[in-house]
Chains A and B, each alone.
Chain A
């Protein structure tokens, strides 16, 4: 069965520091992978997606993620955190083929302090 596992339910960084949010996936076939962000009382917004093209994916707001098949990982990074990055981040996997439901990880809450 396909799954997305996020390591660390809470991550705290200083403003200007590197952001690293970890996601490992499980899939028997090459998956599509996504990162979404959720601000309080809002829906999910797509940050970036991997669809078997380039392994380094650039998204919005300065975020990027690298697909590593050997590690079954799709970690999200941003070189310099901003206060406005504080939110909940979700990794999701969608197996290629079949219908398009997303399977989400449990989420990582990012806190950014001055």
Chain B
């Protein structure tokens, strides 16, 4: 395992459809993060898992968004009833918690286009 992987890399969908993205973190990493990046902006935090527990959710994560990390390994991010405003790059990152601080390693992202 050489890094964080995300699938798919690109997704085009029609407004109103549901989509699901997958993130596979670096194998020994216990922390996992989802961010959203729109064109011309920096990534914005969406949610954070430590092992299988979802410990923080941003106000950006509306009721249409849900994230899981069922066994503390891979994670999924689902968007229901997609809207054009959901078009963005969805980034996943993982880290290994150590005393003090840890480094987040990012995946290549999933680019979502909602038509």
Contact = CB atoms under 8 A, between A and B. Distances in A.
A55 interface: no
B40 A9 contact: yes
Interface in B84-100: 91, 93, 95, 97, 100
B33 interface: yes
Contacts, number: 61
Given A99-B55, A100-B102, A43 B108 contact: yes
Interface string B29-51: 00101010000111111001000
Contacts of A101: 33, 45, 48, 56
Contact of A99 (B48, B91, B101): B48
A103 B77 CA distance: 20
A101 B108 CA distance: 18
Contacts of A42: 108
B104 interface: yes
Given A44-B93, A49-B101, A102-B43, 9 more contacts: A41-B108, A43-B107, A49-B103, A99-B55, A100-B31, A100-B101, A100-B102, A102-B45, A103-B45
